[in-house]
Amino acid sequence: MRFVSTRGGDAVSLDTALLEGIAPDGGLYVPEGVPSIPVGEFSSADSLIDVAEIFLSPFFAGSTLAADLHNILAETFCFPLPVSPLSIGDGNVGLLELFHGPTAAFKDVGAGFLAACISRLDDASTGPLTILVATSGDTGGAVAAAFNERTGIRVAVLYPDGRVSARQAQQLTCWGNNVLSLAVQGTFDDCQALVKSAMADPEMSAEHRFSSANSINIGRLLPQAIYYAYASLTHFSSSGRPLNIVVPTGNLGNAVACILARQVGLPIGDIVVATNANRLIVDYLKGQEWHARDSIQTHASAMDVGNPSNMERLRSLFGEGDALNDVVNAVSIDDVAIEEEIRQTHAETGIAICPHTATAVRAWRLLDERVRRDRDWLLVATAHPAKFETIVEPLIGEPVPLPQELQRIMKLPSRFTRLNPDIAALSEALRSGYNGDLSKAG
């Protein structure tokens, strides 16, 4: 399988798409043609990894990684992704728990898979590869965890000092020697601008061999289709019915993965994306023009995206404007509704949900009663509520226990270097930071 940029140009191999992340023309890589796989082909698949192998084989055809796909998948899917029943309102839905990985959010799946691929692709003989990540909180932790202790690869995580939660800060600064945590004295935009200038700087690029692991990399998207494939096949084999799915959405990555799984032929019915108050997707599907907006801060902070980058993928795969209404529905859930939903779900079930997950649950509640009752629904839980305890705990009136993985991380020593937001300081930090002296923590 070859991959093309959403903006045209020549097709490249999967290996190139994985290493480049973003296409040279600024576009996003999409498969040249989406394969179809009849449901029957999965009949012998018993585990998530079996399903993943069948699903991903056509995408990996011709890649140097094809022979190693099983091992890549075994490394990626090393934590459970269970569906638990949720009895809310007048219905019975499934909750797809994507938060049992190292940093307790679904990005662990994509980051883990990408790390497993890149560590196999890179020829470390020319010196280590440096993965540069700007993060507003969550992505950086998942990427650092995924690349932690992989030989021949270093990670530099840039985050805005003082603008991430205490638990997020710990998840950004607790890793091993190949992870450099840079507490930028500025905003998330400053972090992003620094990463962009560093990558555009030929000297720095040659010295550090930069690569990115951001969410537009096709290697983050593909593995996310797997949990939808597995959940829908499991449901279909026990009920003979398709699964309808609600996905909390920021950059549309997780949602495009779900749409891709349906396109390949998995038994998935309606797909609803739930945004927070950043409602560009919703307004676009209602007929407004697509114009990037400033992002609005909400309780579901990992979805505070003013210009969702994966819309470009969606349009390139499925068409513009109106045509997309057949592909996906979108609902915007504001902070008031998020708060109400966290309270209500807890009151009805005793289960605490995170603010992102709450957008999906509320979007489901807002569906037509018949649509809710007559179809089978899966709601996606993207993060563990303990990651957002300052929002969730006051609403439900009780503490949310930390899951084991987060307990472990919280006890590790924290190390970071403060960084002024200028390129010379970054260059200096990248040069000196890895020589065993990472611990300028203050």
Ligand X SMILES: *Cc1c(COP(=O)(O)O)cnc(C)c1O
219 binds ligand X (CB under 6 A): no
Q: Can you tell me which residue has the tokens 């006051």?
A: 394
Of 105 and 419, which CB lies nearer to ligand X in the complex structure?
Answer: 105
- Per the CB < 8 A criterion, the answer to whether 92 and 85 are in contact is yes
253 binds ligand X (CB under 6 A): yes
Q: How far is CA 67 from the centre of its chain?
A: 26
Residues contacting 69, CB < 8 A, separation 6+: 53, 56, 57, 60
Which of these, 440, 314, 351, 354, lies nearest to 138 by C-alpha position?
354
382 binds ligand X (CB under 6 A): yes
With 0-12 / 13-18 / 19 or more C-beta atoms within 10 angstroms meaning exposed / middle / buried, residue 273 is buried
Q: Can you tell me which residue has the tokens 């010196």?
A: 127
Q: What does the per-residue mask of binding to ligand X show for 36-75, with x meaning CB under 6 A?
A: ----------------------------------------
248 binds ligand X (CB under 6 A): yes
Identified binder of ligand X from the candidate list 150, 235, 346, 356, rule CB under 6 A? 356
- Per the CB < 8 A criterion, the answer to whether 268 and 376 are in contact is no
Q: How far apart are the first and last CA of the chain?
A: 49
303 binds ligand X (CB under 6 A): yes
Q: DSSP string covering 308-319, please? A: -TTHHHHHHHH-
Q: Least distance (Å) from ligand X to the CB of residue 354?
A: 6
105 binds ligand X (CB under 6 A): yes
Considering only residues 136 through 155, tell me which ones interact with ligand X, judged by CB under 6 A.
138
Identified binder of ligand X from the candidate list 1, 31, 65, 107, rule CB under 6 A? 107
Identified binder of ligand X from the candidate list 168, 249, 263, 417, rule CB under 6 A? 249
Q: Can you tell me which residue has the tokens 């890549």?
A: 72
What is the Cα–Cα distance from 329 to 240, expressed in whole angstroms? 24
114 binds ligand X (CB under 6 A): no
Q: Is 251 helix (H, G, I), strand (E, B) or coil?
A: coil
Q: Least distance (Å) from ligand X to the CB of residue 104?
A: 9
Q: Least distance (Å) from ligand X to the CB of residue 65?
A: 23
Q: Least distance (Å) from ligand X to the CB of residue 391?
A: 12
Of 105 and 145, which CB lies nearer to ligand X in the complex structure?
Answer: 105
Q: Least distance (Å) from ligand X to the CB of residue 107?
A: 5
Contact positions vs ligand X (CB under 6 A): 105, 107, 138, 215, 248-255, 302-303, 356, 382-383
